[in-house]
Structure 1
Amino acid sequence: MSEAATPAPDAAMPALSSNDRRRAAMRGVTPPLLLISLATVAVAFVAWIAATRTGLVKPLFLPRPESVLRAFADALDGRIDGAPLLEHVAMSLGRVAGAFVLAALVGIPVGLATGLSPALRAALDPFIEFYRPLPPLAYLPLVVIWFGIGETSKILLIFLACFAPVALAARAGVSAASLDQINAARALGASRSQVVRHVVLPAALPDILVGLRIGMGVGWTTLVAAEMVAASTGIGQMVLNASNFLRTDIVVMGILVIGALAAAFEFGMRRLERRLTPWKGKV
């Protein structure tokens, strides 16, 4: 009689125990994939150094990494645009976060309401679908004319960019609640509000969180346009001023800072998504 074959270890993660594998799967990034990502970033960084050191790319088009680091140090000390980098970051964070929270507070209820009410959807859908594909720069002049050049117009511009993805995702999430679940809740005596709270909202939550992630990304892309409006501080304003003087080192530094902040928000949203919807992808 042949001996029972022992299961071969997972080739993708040979050195990990079952608990380590489970934790890695819950984090959504397995160690080998993480190594691939880090290796890709390292290769891109080496290519950047090689292209600038050998003169293959002129500094006007792509500055050296050390030039970007010097620009970062100057920005930290306030030697760029007369304000420290942390002040620029704080102002940009405040604008994006304020607009994002407002978009969530308005967009999620509107999306749920339009998903539950065909009449309300028919009334609001034309307006949302009309302005959704418009670039923020297209209606920026109107926002400035209507609301002035203060913080209101900046936050409103980012809010309008974030609102549509959040509302549409919430509306799409309503359909995730099956008719059997809704009928079962009603058979147990649940009211309409209880059905929405305990059946529809949990079913729509994964789509809502995806919409929030998309909305946050769109908000960061709209930041530079929003800070074109008479802003004295902000990362977008700093990048715009640097581009006027062909300071590509400052431009690249600002892009890296914006990308780092956006990535931090993205990782935070992913962590929140795994905590609030642990069943996603498993049912």
Structure 2
Amino acid sequence: MSDQSAISQNDRKPRGSVFPAFARSRPTRPGETYGVPGQGNTTWLSVATIVALIFIWWAITAAGLVKPLFVPSPQSIVQKFIDVWFNGYTGAPLWQHILISTARVFGAFLLACVIGIPLGLAMGMSPIMRGIFDPPIEIYRPVPPLAYLPLMIIWFGIGETSKVLLIFLSVFAPIALGARAGVRSAAIEQIHAAYSFGATRWQVMHHIILPSAMPEILTAMRIGIGFGWTTLVAAEMVAATKGIGYMVLSASQFLQTSTVIMGIFVIAAIAYAFDMLMRFLERRLVPWKGKM
């Protein structure tokens, strides 16, 4: 009887008591996912990784294992940044190079969002729209920007239009395809229920499909802006006298490695800041993402 009573008492215990770390039914910290404790609190790990990488970089250059022509030291990169910030590069201050490149990338990004998001939603909702626009997008999407750079120059000249359009083409496809994929996130039961209550097609789009597709759209925007910064260097290869991409290319021709790495870090810092902004918007606009 004692053994049976012990077994019955064990049977009455909650399942989660065996593994208390996974017994929580909801996250206790902001950003912590269900069933995985502490997953959202990784800032210290990221900072430690960056510090470790910088220390390894400094140790290798300080020991003279790599020539400065190939990998300059971290302090030389900082000194080059200060020098270019105060003295400029090719007659233009650093902030002007940053402003011009940022205007090109975000101008193309906004244009891609204005055109790509509605088109992607239309492709997701209408088989006719998908049949018309899906083939050309899928055909040009895998082509690297350098392949159609000559066409941009022939068709639109060597001015700002060709540069912005080149970046636009690299950003447009991910955003349009992301919006199209987001339409499939909408539950068909909710759509049918809305139509049964007399909702119009626009109301269904605004209140059901768009909120359901928003997580996919925001993710596609983050991916698209990354492609935009990647294409920036190619866009500023021809007839550019200002911009971060131009600065990197010009410095590489004269083997100014410290300037090249400094320009890469500037591009990475701007892109990372925008990515953090997009993550903040995701938490505000789609707080349910990753929680279901």
The TM-score normalised by the length of structure 2 is: 0.88
Q: Are 1:89 and 2:65 counterparts?
A: no
Distance 2:172 2:266 in 1: 24
Task: Check whether the contact 2:145–2:231 (CA below 8 A) recurs between aligned residues.
Answer: yes
Q: Are 1:137 and 2:146 counterparts?
A: yes
What is aligned with 2:132?
123
CA displacement at 1:23 relative to structure 2:
3.0
Match of 1:45 among 40, 54, 59: 54
List runs of 5+ in structure 2 lacking aligned partners: 1-12
3-state SS, counterpart of residue 25 of structure 1:
coil
3-state SS, counterpart of residue 96 of structure 1:
helix
Q: Are 1:273 and 2:287 counterparts?
A: no
Distance 1:152 1:24 in 2: 41
- CA displacement 1:167-207 (0-9 Å, x = unmatched): 00000011111210100000111011111111111111110
CA displacement at 1:82 relative to structure 2:
1.3
What is aligned with 2:182?
173
What is aligned with 1:160?
169
Question: One-letter code of the match for 1:60?
Answer: L
3-state SS, counterpart of residue 22 of structure 1:
coil
Task: Check whether the contact 2:182–2:214 (CA below 8 A) recurs between aligned residues.
Answer: yes
Distance 1:254 1:264 in 2: 15
Q: Are 1:194 and 2:203 counterparts?
A: yes
Aligned-residue sequence identity (percent) comes to 56
Distance 2:80 2:150 in 1: 32
Question: One-letter code of the match for 1:119?
Answer: I
Distance 1:140 1:79 in 2: 28
CA displacement at 1:11 relative to structure 2:
7.7
Q: Max radius of gyration: which structure?
A: 2
CA displacement at 1:29 relative to structure 2:
6.7
| 1:1-283 equivalent positions in 2, closer than 5 A | 21-25=28-32, 30-31=40-41, 33-283=42-292
Task: Check whether the contact 2:61–2:67 (CA below 8 A) recurs between aligned residues.
Answer: yes
3-state SS, counterpart of residue 36 of structure 1:
helix
Number of residue pairs matched by the alignment: 273
Stretches of 4+ aligned residues off by more than 6 angstroms: none
Distance 1:68 1:179 in 2: 55
Question: One-letter code of the match for 2:259?
Answer: I
